[in-house]
Amino acid sequence: MKPLNFLITAGPTREFLDPIRYLSNRSSGKMGYALARAAAKRGRVTLVSGPVSLKPPAGITVVPVTTAAEMAREVLRRYRQSDIVIMAAAVCDFRPRRVAGQKIKKQEFAGRLDLVPTVDILTELGKRKRRQILVGFAAETDHLERNAVEKLRRKKLDLIVANDARAFDSDTNRVVIIGRGTREKLPEMSKARVAVEIVKRAIAARA
């Protein structure tokens, strides 16, 4: 049987205001890296990773990126050849309209940031999906499952992993894996074990 090609994203992205300051998310990258390790036991893995302080998993291809635009470019470049795509990165939703060439002095700051949306990578992948299994994540502070189901439908995902935003810095996670007409709530467990369960269900979704 031909090995499966996994494409996984992890970590945060950064959107710079000036050469020193940036907007970002709280993601540690632990969930995405755990997914890469679990997937490496089932096929070939490319991990597109935002800035994290984690050791790259052995035996996989790691593509480092910083901004949402860079992550979008690297993911879309590899999408067609992928069998299973798991988007675990916490991508910034907004970026400054303009990046200052020099450090913005406190006394010169007008008190307001002019932000514009970044590219919605999951939406783009949903539009281009052919044979791929597309798995997204939903980190919410309220109405977790309701928002996850809406995101699953709107972005044309096969599965979505709903988890509380408080799991960002933790070594454990408690998730609900939602598919089209399916819902499975897992008990709290290590992110390594959660990763194995997610990979298992993503492979099963290809049947």
Secondary-structure percent of the chain, ordered helix, strand, coil, rounded to 5: 30, 30, 40
Look up 5 and say whether it is catalytic.
no
Q: Are 135 and 202 in contact (CB under 8 A)?
A: yes
Cα 105 to Cα 46: distance, rounded to the nearest angstrom: 40
Q: What is the dihedral of CA 113, 27, 82, 133, to 10 degrees?
A: -100
Sequence-ordered list of residues with C-beta below 8 angstroms from that of 123, at least 6 positions apart, any chain: 154, 155
Cα 166 to Cα 89: distance, rounded to the nearest angstrom: 15
* Catalytic residue (choose from 25, 147, 163, 173): 25
Sequence-ordered list of residues with C-beta below 8 angstroms from that of 183, at least 6 positions apart, any chain: 145, 176, 177
Q: Are strands 4-10 and 84-87 parallel, antiparallel or unpaired?
A: parallel
User: Which helix (H) or strand (E) is 197 found in, with range?
Assistant: helix 191-204
With tokens 């499966």, the residue in question is 4
Q: Give the residue numbers marked as catalytic.
A: 25
